[in-house]
Structure 1
Amino acid sequence: MSSKLHVLNSSEEAGRSGARRPPGPLALELQKTMLRLKGQYMSEDGREVHYHQLRSSGLFQDYEGVARQLCDCDLTELDDNEKKAFFVNVYNALTVHGLARADPLPASVLELDRFWALTAYNIGGHLFSLDDIEHGVLRGNRPHPMADKPPFSEDDPRRQFALKSCDARIHFALVCGAKSCPAIQVYSSSNIEQALTTAAESFCSQEVAVDEGRRTVTTSKIFHWYASDFGSSERQLLQWLCGYLPEETRSQLERLLDSAHPITLTSRDYNWQLNSDSRSAL
């Protein structure tokens, strides 16, 4: 599999020194560079990326230099909060990097062959695809929704970097390149807990609708694909939602949950069009 990966931060020099760099300064440099990219080549709300301007910029070349340094990063020094923030940032940066390097730029990320399975970085001498980061590391080595086995086997050295448990809020921080994805933000280990709560609240306020009269709750497909991350039953998923909805919507959902009558849970269509705008084609 590794021979088929599209490793975007490989170079003749990367990883050759054998030295392992502490992750803290590199994580900070990654955050700063991502913030500069976001300020210049993304919409203010983080939902659109201007890929054409981005990939021809000097700032993007600077970012690629930072990405190459990931090869020498010592991941063993990261605690869980640092690891969570680090890998969320790396996932989003790798997504933007992979799409910016796509030529021609697709109308939808689905047009790119196995984009999430094959787009990868060398991090600390280990190869991580987008799928490896999401399902292996951030979801605590849980299977992809379309798979029955976890990404990292028992003898896979990358398994040591998996989070001990799955924090469902990460689904509202990871950006897959589609318009229905959450907004791109930049995270740090010091703000990761509050930032993930804010990201979940923002996403749920926009993507969850409660029709009390019809006893229907409509959500993003994310809640359908990853239902087990939010609870072991549909009711537990709805209870999880109550913690992140605006007050009025939460009250409506709580009244439905307090009733003995069934609730219909449905999902709206997912917009897979690329998270770019008209300026990206200039």
Structure 2
Amino acid sequence: MSQLVWLREAVMGLALGERARSVLNAGPVPAAPVDGAALAAELKRAVNQFKALAMDAGGTQVAYDRLRSDPAYLAFRIELTPQLQRFDPASLPDRATRLAFWINLYNALVIDAVIAFGVQTSVADELAGLSFFQAAAYLIGGQRCSLNDIEHGILRANRGHPFIPGPQFAAGDPRRAWIIDPPDVRIHFALNCASRSCPPIGVYSAEQIDAQLELAMRSFVDADVTIDPARGEIHLSRIFDWYREDFGGPNGIVQLLRQALPDDERRAWLLQAQRGRLVYRPYDWSLNRG
């Protein structure tokens, strides 16, 4: 399995060229190791500032051009992200802190990469999106960590990309020490990939992470799911298709919907229906530009 991972990385490296090795936080390295709790708090403040400065109230649209030259974003790029180079994620004290940190970092890195790479229309324009999610990366604790690494390696407990065989991290990879296991399936409603069909951008804290993830899941499901009783169809986001194994397959998806939907006619239909056909909507990869 490790050979498969190394082969995959080699192929991706050839396809992406220099982007496969570059990082977006290659500033001066801090002289001393960074305190994990302090860095997590700074990251949370930064994402809060991004929301206040350049996002709509729902967290679905981002004014990237406005953010590009704002002092808060420039401070994030110049002062905060270089600290990641001397940061050991294993020093984060507990699961709640780790979850909040990695979700906030993923969403911040997406915004940073859209601006740095000059994305204008969609993050999926190159290699069906594989280029963006592999090229967008920070140097963390001496290890290159891309969006793919954060999502599929750390937050999904090394289950690997749904379209690429093999785990995200090979045996012996030091980043395996950062894996959050067991994974929390609700992260799929918290990660925003700069596309119109993505869940909204939130700001997560260790103290409230469980309630925030529950709210993110319930809000997304409520806004997304429709039922066609005549056809016996459940229409829902393509996210459920891509990560169906995370959700426990079709039966697990239906069970999640029964729990997450508000007490309305959709939930009533699901509770009494013996089965329904899952119909996944096309994903709108258009840039969530505000």
- Shared fold (TM-score greater than 0.5)? yes
For 1:112 and 1:192, the matched residues in 2 are separated by 34
Letter in 1 for 2:277: T
Of 104, 113, 116 in structure 2, the residue corresponding to residue 98 of structure 1 is 113
State how 1:12-23 maps to structure 2 within 5 Å: 13-14=28-29, 17=31, 19-23=32-36
TM-superposed CA distance for 1:213, in Å, is 2.7
Please give the secondary structure, in 1, of the residue aligned with 2:251. helix
What residue number does 2:193 align with? 176
What is the CA-CA distance between 1:6 and the residue it aligns to? 3.3
* Matching of residue 273 in structure 1 with residue 286 in structure 2: yes
Q: CA deviation at 1:76?
A: 1.6
Alignment length (residue pairs): 268
Provide the residue aligned with 1:234 in structure 2: 250
Identity between Structure 1 and Structure 2 (%)? 37
Match for residue 222 of structure 1 among 239, 250, 254? 239
1:132 counterpart residue number: 149
Work out whether residues 5 and 119 of structure 1, in 8 Å CA contact, stay in contact via their aligned partners in 2. no
- Superposed CA offset, 1:191-238 (max 9, x none): 11100000001110111112223211011000000000101x311221
Query: 128, 131, 139: which is aligned to 1:122?
Result: 139
Deviation per CA, 1:160-218, whole angstroms, max 9, x where unpaired?
Answer: 11111121100010011100001001101111110000000111011111222321101
Give the partner amino acid of 2:231. Answer: R
Please state whether the residue corresponding to 1:247 is helix, strand or coil: coil
1:110 offset after TM fit, Å? 1.1
State the Cα distance separating 1:112 from its structure 2 match.
4.2
1: CA distance between counterparts of 2:235 and 2:155?
26
2:4 paired residue number: none
Q: CA deviation at 1:102?
A: 2.3
1:74 to partner: Cα distance: 2.2
Paired amino acid for 2:192: V
Shift in Å, 1:137: 0.2
Which residue number in structure 1 is paired with residue 206 of structure 2? 189
Give per-residue Cα distances to partners, 1:34-87, cap 9 Å, x unaligned.
Answer: 101110111111000001111111111111121111112121212221111100
Hey, what does 2:37 align to over in structure 1?
24
- Residue 3 of structure 2 corresponds to none
Q: Deviations over 1:231-271 (max 9, x none)?
A: 1x311221122111111122221111xx3xx4211111111
**Which AA in structure 1 matches 2:239?**
I
2:262 aligned with 1:246: yes
Q: Does 1:59 align with 2:72?
A: yes
Aligned-partner SS, 1:109:
coil
**Separation (CA, whole Å) in 1 of partners of 2:269 and 2:138:** 44
1:46 matched residue in structure 2: 59
In the superposition, the TM-score normalised over structure 2's length comes to: 0.89
Letter in 1 for 2:157: G
Residue segments in structure 1 that go unaligned for 5+ positions in a row: 278-282
Find the partner of 1:110 among 88, 101, 124: 124
CA distance in structure 2 between the aligned counterparts of 1:5 and 1:251, rounded to whole angstroms: 51
Deviations 1:9-35 (A, max 9, x none): 112x225x3x32221011101111210
Find the counterpart in structure 1 of residue 225 from structure 2. 208
Q: Take 2:124 and 2:221, find their aligned partners in 1: how far apart are those partners?
A: 24
TM-score with structure 1 setting the length? 0.91
Task: State the alpha-carbon separation in 2 of the partners of residues 82 and 158 from structure 1.
Answer: 17
